[in-house]
């Protein structure tokens, strides 16, 4: 009976891990991010302060999948998650938002702090590309937005809008 109880406890921990994390990358999933955004929104409205969101879209993932296979695309996604986990702070929430999109929620972070995190992520992608010169290149378009209690309800949408503006500007260059 003890062995069964221990096995059940282990299975419950695994279920909880799977419920909050993306299976491919190991970072938090969209559901967990949405709950964290709700908590952050409540905290900001109640106590004030700021929070920032960084929205990232891995560049050319479809092209990598089509040209090199889905295993190469999966590697890019896992590498992006690893870069985010290496470069973001312990207090940040790193999540896979969708197919090729990641979000970093940075509670109690102003614009300057968010920009520093974004710069670290860009440096992390450069280091990753230096370690994998023969593989597909990792790059991403980023959008950052900082809000206080009054504007926190649209923080994710605004960061997403800014990321797409960056992507469009980069495509014109």
Name the percent of the chain in helix, strand, coil, to the closest 5: 60, 20, 20
Q: What is the pLDDT of residues 86-117, one digit of tens each?
A: 999 999 999 999 999 999 999 999 999 999 99
Q: Are 81 and 28 in contact (CB under 8 A)?
A: no
Q: What is the pLDDT of residues 24-35, one digit of tens each?
A: 999 999 999 999
Catalytic residue flag (residue 16): no
Q: Are 87 and 120 in contact (CB under 8 A)?
A: yes
Task: Report pTM.
Answer: 0.85
Ranges of residues in the chain whose predicted pLDDT is under 70: 1, 3-18, 173
Token digits for 163? 């990321």
Catalytic residue among 59, 92, 100, 160: 100
How high is the pLDDT of residue 148?
A: 84
Non-local CB neighbours of 10 within 8 Å, separated by 6+ positions: none
Query: Given the structure tokens 């206080």, which residue do they identify?
Result: 148
């Amino acid at each position: 009976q003890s062995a069964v109880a221990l096995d059940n406890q282990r299975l419950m921990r695994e279920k909880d891990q799977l419920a909050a994390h993306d299976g491919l990358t190991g970072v938090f999933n969209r559901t967990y991010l949405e709950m964290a955004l709700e908590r952050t929104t409540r905290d900001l409205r109640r106590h004030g302060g700021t929070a920032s969101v960084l929205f990232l879209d891995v560049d050319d993932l479809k092209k990598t999948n089509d040209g090199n296979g889905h295993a190469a695309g999966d590697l890019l996604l896992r590498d992006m998650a690893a870069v985010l986990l290496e470069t973001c702070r312990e207090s940040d929430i790193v999540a896979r938002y969708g197919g090729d999109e990641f979000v970093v929620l940075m509670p109690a972070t102003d614009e300057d702090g968010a920009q520093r995190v974004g710069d670290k992520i860009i440096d992390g992608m450069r280091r990753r590309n230096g370690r994998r010169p023969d593989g597909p290149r990792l790059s991403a378009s980023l959008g950052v937005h900082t809000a206080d209690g009054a504007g926190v309800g649209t923080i994710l949408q605004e960061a997403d809008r800014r990321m797409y503006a960056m992507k469009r500007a980069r495509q014109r260059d």
